[in-house]
Amino acid sequence: MNRAFVTDRGDAGRRLDLVLRRHLAAVDSATRTRLQAWIGAGRVSVNGRAVLRVAARAALGDRVVVALPDERPRQVMTAERLPLTVVYEDDWLLAIDKPAGIVVHPAFRNTTGTVMNALLWRARSWPPGTRPSIVGRLDKLTSGLVVVAKTSAMHAALQRALGAADAVKDYLAIVYGRVARARGRIELRLAKDRRDRRRVVASTTEGAPSLTRYERLAGIAAPKAGLAVLRCSLATGRPHQIRVHLAASGWPIVGDPLYGEPRWNLVVDPALAELLRGFPRQALHACRTAFVHPMTRARVEIEVPPPSDFEQLVRATGLPSL
């Protein structure tokens, strides 16, 4: 279904997404995030031409057409009795150690069997007014810490706490390549790939400012590819940030299906090459978080060791044990 309108003086000079919000206020699905996605997907045209830039400005008398996508009925999330490894819990929040291969939140292709389904089961006995909500998400193939709020107010408070300058969000990654510097910073902007909306691309000029700090924990020659274990600390929390930043720096994560490279075929040792080729996921683990508790004001520090597949890969490659 198309929605069309002509811009007036109240629209002149405003960003296109803001203009759309004004004219589509009665459309429940027209959140700012969704509008920006519609623009990026080419669903919005101005004077007959598709506009792909959210920051494009409207002029007086522009004819704007929006091709609204068909709305799918929202499915109610169901509680499922699934295993959860809870590593921290109090009256306001909890943290779990998520295995690789488990989706965090139900989506079109994964409506059941997710972390959220399991949390709803756990929350059946919680007091009235509480409901789990996940603060930040891990990719399906990334293992490690996920923080969960028990109320909407705590969700907002935890977002602020985890976004504070003194908060810690550390990951371990096994990467290809020779990382010459013991530690450093990767400051590249990140934006959705216009040719493939599943991917994120790094740029020095376009996208959201993003910063990843890294420390080399171990490295071996692994002729002719090189291998290293890095500790990565997020200063910003963009989707796919560590995976894209490392790949853009020449250190793709072993097993990454989206941003990785088949550098296992450069490894001289055939047994090691086969092991690297067969690793079934990106070798990335969310190992540690620390923040000031929004209610108690005490500093909370939570750490989980890498899972067995990660540790086995480290040992088999000859990298020093973590």
Q: What DSSP letter does each residue of 130-192 carry, written as one string?
A: ---EEES---TT-EEEEEEESSHHHHHHHHHHHTSTT-EEEEEEEEES---SSEEEEE-EEEE
Q: Which residue has the higher pLDDT, 123 or 320?
A: 123
Token reading at 129 = 């007014």
Q: What pLDDT is stored for residue 89 in this prediction? A: 97
Task: Name, in order, each residue with C-beta under 8 angstroms of 196's C-beta and a sequence gap of 6 or more.
Answer: none
Give the pairing type, strands 143-149 and 227-234. unpaired
Enter the DSSP assignment of 41: T
Start-to-end Cα distance in the chain: 55
Percent over 90 (pLDDT), the chain: 68
Residues in the chain: 322
* Over residues 130-143, mean pLDDT: 94
Give backbone dihedrals phi and psi of 91, rounded to 5 degrees, phi first: -70, -15
Write out the two tokens for 258. Answer: 């989206």
Cα-Cα-Cα-Cα dihedral of 123, 124, 129, 133, to 10°? 30
17: CB partners within 8 A, 6+ apart: 32, 35, 36, 39, 54
**So what's the pLDDT on residue 72?**
62
Active-site position among 17, 139, 170, 309: 139
Q: Is the link from the previous residue into 169 a cis peptide, with omega within 30 of 0? A: no
Mean pLDDT for the chain overall = 91
Instruction: Place 74 in a pLDDT band, splitting at 50, 70 and 90.
Output: low
Note the Cα 282 to chain centre separation in Å.
Answer: 13
2: pLDDT strictly greater than 90: no
Q: How many CB atoms lie within 10 A of CB 294?
A: 19
Q: Could you tell me which residues are beta bridge partners of residue 110? A: 107
Give the pLDDT of residue 5: 86
d(C-alpha 306, C-alpha 289), whole Å: 14
Nearest CA to 174 out of 142, 199, 146 is that of 142
Q: Beta strands of 204-247 (E only): which ranges?
A: 211-220, 227-234
Least confident of 145-159, 165-179, 190-204, 296-310: 190-204
Least confident piece of the model among 23-27, 134-138, 274-278: 23-27
pLDDT at 199: 93
The reported pLDDT for the residue numbered 319 is 84
Q: Find the helix or strand (DSSP H, E) in which 6 lies.
A: strand 2-6
Average pLDDT over residues 53-57: 86
Domains in the chain, please, with CATH?
Answer: 2-67 (3.10.290.10), 86-162 (3.30.2350.10), 168-317 (3.30.2350.10)
What is the mean predicted confidence (pLDDT) over 234-262?
A: 96
pTM for this model (two decimals): 0.78
Distance CA 205, CA 24 (A): 31
Q: What pLDDT score does 71 carry?
A: 64
Active site residue 139: yes
